[in-house]
């Protein structure tokens, strides 16, 4: 009698272990799939033309305009962002409607900080035909400020040409600083 009860217990335990093993296998695949989905964008847009306005109404003055052939939306992440893997054309307008144009091969917009990270062959062109060349440039949308701690080169039609490793400027390119390099300069209008 004791032997039969012992065998029944072994059968029950074995059955439970086998059942748990096979049920966990399916759940593991589901968990792995969730991890893959979190690394993929939640949305994709093509040929975008985003306009940022200054006023509360829909007829507000355009402050910035971002164009790109492709945008990937990662708002499903804890620190959400939008990625522009095929480059951007960013126009920043001043109060007179004149625009500075920034071109880059790649960009990321961090939603929580309103920071745009522009990378790869970054070129800033002013209405006066001054040009700034950099490998990386950041645009702080809240403060309307451009900056980098990467090497930059300025080709100017209106002032001295220069090179440096630090660049800091307002979006109107009226007050800018280039430091740490040949032709260090601090220019203000």
Regarding pTM above 0.75, the answer is no
Query: In angstroms, rounded to a whole number, what is the distance separating the alpha carbons of residues 75 and 153?
Result: 35
Core vs surface per residue 122-157: b (16+ CB within 10 A) or e? bebbbeeebbbebebbbbebeeeebbbebbbbbebe
pLDDT tens, residue by residue, 170-179? 887 777 888 8
Confidence check: pLDDT of 162 > 90: no
Per-residue pLDDT at 9:
63
DSSP of the chain: -HHHHHHHHHHHHHHHHHHHHHHHHHHHHHHHHHHHHHHS-SEEEEEEEEEEESSSSTTPPEEEEEEEEEEEEETTSSS-EEEETT-EEEEEE-TTS-EEEEEESEEEEETTTTEEEEEEEEEEE-TT--EEEEEEEEEETTTTEEEESS-EEEE-SSS--EEESEEEEETTSSSEEEESSTT-EEE--
Confidence check: pLDDT of 24 > 70: no
Confidence check: pLDDT of 148 > 90: yes
Nearest to 97 by CA among 130, 67, 61: 61
Contact 89, 103 (CB under 8 A): yes
pLDDT tens, residue by residue, 108-127? 999 899 899 999 999 999 88
Confidence check: pLDDT of 11 > 60: yes
């Amino acid at each position: 009698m004791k032997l039969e009860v012992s065998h029944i217990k072994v059968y029950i335990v074995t059955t439970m272990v086998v059942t748990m093993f096979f049920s966990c296998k399916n759940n593991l695949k589901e968990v792995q799939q969730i991890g893959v989905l979190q690394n993929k964008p939640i949305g994709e847009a093509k040929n975008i033309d985003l306009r940022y306005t200054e006023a509360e109404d829909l007829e507000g003055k355009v402050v910035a305009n971002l164009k790109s052939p492709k945008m990937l939306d990662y708002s499903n992440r804890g620190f959400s962002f939008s990625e522009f893997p095929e480059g951007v054309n960013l126009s920043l307008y001043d109060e007179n409607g004149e625009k500075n144009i920034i071109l880059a091969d790649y960009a990321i917009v961090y939603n929580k900080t309103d920071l745009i990270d522009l990378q790869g062959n970054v070129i800033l062109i002013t209405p006066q035909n001054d040009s700034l060349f950099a490998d990386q440039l950041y645009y702080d949308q809240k403060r309307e400020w451009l900056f980098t701690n990467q090497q930059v080169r300025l080709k100017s039609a209106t002032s001295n040409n220069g090179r440096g490793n630090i660049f800091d400027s307002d979006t109107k390119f009226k007050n800018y600083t280039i430091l740490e390099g040949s032709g260090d300069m601090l220019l203000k209008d």
